[in-house]
Chains A and B, each alone.
Chain A
Amino acid sequence: MRDEDIAVVEEMECVFSRPEALTDKAFHYCPGCTHGIVHRLVAEMIDEFKLMDRTVGVCPVGCSVLMYDYFECDMIEASHGRAPAVATAVKRTDPNRFVFTYQGDGDLASIGMAETVHAAARGDRITIFFINNGIYGMTGGQMAPTTLIGQRATTSPSGRDERLTGAPIGICELLSSLKGVAYLARVPLTSPKNLKDARKHMRKAIRAQLEDKGLGLVEFLSTCPVQWKMEPIAAMKHIDENVVKVFPPGVFVDCVGDLQK
């Protein structure tokens, strides 16, 4: 019996496990929050491109402020919104490094808008992973620049009013006019198929930096089940039904091209 058991064990192979670039620490995020998914995707990319030894990540302020605890690579904590400026400094000081920033919409599209736009205009060789969930999650659900018209937040209790607070900012549309951007794409994180697309976009955004083409940015349409006051699955359906109408997924700029086979 025992020999047979060993034979069965030997026949199994691991097809999916936690990426090596992630530490063993459990995430502090709320149940169903897509931050965990994007963390894992970023870690998978670091493993895939074998960049662990030369990666510097720049953390934002927001829910993911503690993300330096979760990655094995070097991480820097930037002040609110200034992650692209810090990443620019790291990249220019040591161009051999792979530098990425990981930012939410309150960080990148609100207080850090100037840093984002100017890093893109300069075409700094950094990669930005932008988590757009349309709300300030950590601080208690206030309205963000990317909040949808009519969406309720603690600072827009009867729904966002366009006349009063303007329309949501599409970061990809905004940055697509700038020459320094080499790769720009938006993807919802609502199904395994979309995660596959997300990986394709992330590979190109990373290659934009590694092949010295310019800035790469991937925008992830993410959920915030707690502040949206929805179940995690209902929140994903909300993205598929409503959010993608305002923020259409797709590739906005692609100066990277496909790999030669």
Chain B
Amino acid sequence: MEKVHVEVNRCKGCGLCVEFCPRHCLELAAELNAIGYHPARNHDAEKCTSCALCADMCPEGAITIHRKKRSKSA
């Protein structure tokens, strides 16, 4: 399962998620989506910490964030 799931055809390519990602692991794709924009995508899942700041700034509500379940003892 992806950490950052962008609903490709909801994204309007405004770039706010790219700007506010503290680890710079988002970018706008070169190809177009069904509504004619360059959608955002996570190009570096290794660096991503699932902080959800990209989803917080997304005006379309197009981003869903998953992260590894944290163990209660830790």
Binding site for B on A (CB under 8 A): 8-19, 22, 26-27, 29-37, 39-40, 191-192, 195, 225, 231-233, 236
Contact A14 B56, beta carbon cutoff 8 Å: no
Can you list 11 A-B contacts (CB < 8 A)? A9-B1, A13-B68, A14-B65, A15-B66, A16-B56, A33-B59, A37-B59, A39-B61, A191-B20, A195-B57, A236-B16
Which listed residue (A14, A35, A192) contacts B57, Cβ 8 A?
A192
Determine whether the beta carbon of B63 is less than 8 Å from that of A13: no
Residues from chain A with a CB closer than 8 A to the CB of B19 are 233
- The reply to whether A32 and B59 form a contact with Cβ atoms under 8 Å apart is yes
Given contacts A15-B65, A26-B9, A31-B37, could you give 17 more A-B pairs where the C-beta distance is less than 8 Å?
A8-B1, A11-B69, A13-B68, A13-B69, A15-B67, A16-B63, A26-B60, A29-B59, A30-B12, A32-B12, A32-B15, A32-B16, A34-B59, A36-B58, A37-B57, A37-B58, A191-B57
With both chains docked as a complex, state the minimum distance between the C-beta of A233 and any C-beta of chain B, in angstroms.
5
- A16-B56, A27-B59, A32-B59 known; A232-B65 Cβ under 8 A: no
CB interface residues, B 1-15, toward A, < 8 Å: 1, 9-10, 12-15
> For the complex, is B26 an interface residue (Cβ under 8 Å from A)?
no
B45 in the interface (beta carbon within 8 A): no
Residue in A11, A27, A30 whose CB lies within 8 Å of B68: A11
* Contact A18 B61, beta carbon cutoff 8 Å: yes
With A12-B69, A31-B37 in contact, do A232 and B14 touch (Cβ < 8 Å)? yes
A-B contact count (CB 8 A): 81
Q: Kindly provide the distance from the CB of B57 to the nearest chain A CB, expressed in whole angstroms.
A: 6
Question: Which residue in B53, B58, B64 is a CB contact (below 8 Å) of A14?
Answer: B64
Interface size class of B (residues with CB under 8 A): 20 to 34
Which of B1, B15, B60, B67 is the most central at the interface, judged by chain A CB atoms within 10 Å of its CB?
B60
CB atoms of B67 and A12 under 8 A apart: yes
- Bound complex: CA A37 to CA B61 (Å): 8
Least Cβ–Cβ distance between B40 and chain A, in angstroms: 11
> Does B52 sit within 8 A of A, measured CB to CB?
yes
| Nearest-neighbor residue (CB-CB) of A19 within chain B | B61
| Cα of A218 to Cα of B53 in the assembled complex, Å | 22
Q: Which residue of A lies closest to B12 (CB)?
A: A31
* Distance, CA A47 to CA B30, complexed state (A): 36
Contacts of A18 in B (CB 8 A): 61, 64
> In the complex, which of the residues A8, A30, A192, A236 has the most CB atoms of chain B within 10 Å of its own CB atom?
A192
A-B complex: 8 closest residue pairs judged by Cβ atoms: A36-B59, A32-B14, A31-B12, A16-B65, A31-B14, A16-B52, A16-B55, A12-B66
